[in-house]
Amino acid sequence: MALVRLDVRGQLVSLRREDAERLRAAAARVAATSSRRRDLALVLDWALASPRIVVLRRAEARELAALLAEDHSLADLGDALGGIAQRSAA
């Protein structure tokens, strides 16, 4: 199973590739109207293409938290992230 590894506010998170693709697609859907979501989509795209751990900046971590809170179809990913995204919103 291919994993995408992210560093979200100092916490290492491993996501299944399919889950990272879902996050990227959700961020990309509103990228035309939100530069922050565009940035998040680009970082997730880079993470999907790289075997390395990709570090999310504070703004990207906040957007990830907001995305998970807004899009109920991603609720299972909030659990997979272990609440890290919720802490990023604070």
Q: For residue 77, what are its two tokens? A: 């990913």
Q: Per the structure, how many domains does the chain have?
A: 1
**Distance between CA 22 and CA 78 in Å, rounded?**
12
pLDDT of the residue at 15: 93
Quote the pTM value: 0.85
The answer to whether the beta carbons of residues 61 and 11 sit under 8 Å apart is no
Contact 64, 83 (CB under 8 A): no
Q: Which domain holds residue 68?
A: 3-89
The count of other CB atoms within 10 Å of the CB of residue 1 is 6
Of the candidates 89, 90, 76, the one whose C-alpha atom is nearest the C-alpha of residue 15 is 76
15-69 tens-digit pLDDT: 999 999 999 999 999 899 999 999 999 999 999 999 999 999 999 999 999 998 8
Tokens representing 56? 């999310």
